[in-house]
Amino acid sequence: MREPVRRRALWAIAVASVAVVAIQFVPIDRTNPPVQTEVPASPEVISVLRRGCYDCHSNETSWPWYSRVAPVSWLIAYDVHEGRAAVNYSTWNALDPKQQLDAIGESWEEVQHREMPPWYYLLLHWNAHLSAEDRAVLREWSVSSRPP
């Protein structure tokens, strides 16, 4: 009775191993299109955005080694594509002035409510943690960008 259980277990391991290898061949878009413009902001704001936001919200994504290993690669690519669709600091010139103001305000709201950067991103990217000073820089950017 133990032999059929062992044989099934070995068969399941073999099938799972083939599946893990096979999913590595699913193509994932990890491109970084050209940067069109830089966000017109102070060097302090740019520094905070680069450290905490650019990996998902720009065309300057740093694709780590694990972004090439499925299924993790699928999740990372999905997050980057969704992040760029929400706001892409590398295509700032594609937004009209009202959209730019909205994007700045929404960016600050996400940071203020600690929704950005997401907790799961911070697990592997310690340098993306935003300090109180970083948050103050982004808050001031948002406030100073509003029309009088």
- Looking at the domain assignment, is residue 112 inside a domain? yes
d(CA 20, CA 105): 42
Is pLDDT at 1 greater than 60 in this prediction?
no
pLDDT bracket for residue 20 (50, 70, 90) = confident
- Looking at the domain assignment, is residue 21 inside a domain? no
Q: What's the pLDDT score for residue 28?
A: 86
24 compared with 90, residue with greater pLDDT: 90
- Looking at the domain assignment, is residue 104 inside a domain? yes
Q: What's the pLDDT score for residue 32?
A: 95
> Structural domain tally of the chain?
1
* Sequence-ordered list of residues with C-beta below 8 angstroms from that of 64, at least 6 positions apart, any chain: 124
CB 45 within 8 Å of CB 145: no
Q: What's the pLDDT score for residue 146?
A: 84
Least confident of 8-12, 15-19, 62-66: 15-19
- Looking at the domain assignment, is residue 18 inside a domain? no
92-122 pLDDT, tens digit per residue, is: 999 999 999 999 999 999 999 999 999 999 9
d(CA 54, CA 46): 10
Q: Which domain holds residue 47?
A: 30-145
pLDDT bracket for residue 65 (50, 70, 90) = very high
CA angle (16, 17, 18) in 5-degree steps: 90
- Looking at the domain assignment, is residue 102 inside a domain? yes
Phi and psi, residue 138, nearest 5°? -70, -35
The DSSP H or E segment spanning 65 is: none
Q: What's the pLDDT score for residue 88?
A: 97
- Looking at the domain assignment, is residue 4 inside a domain? no
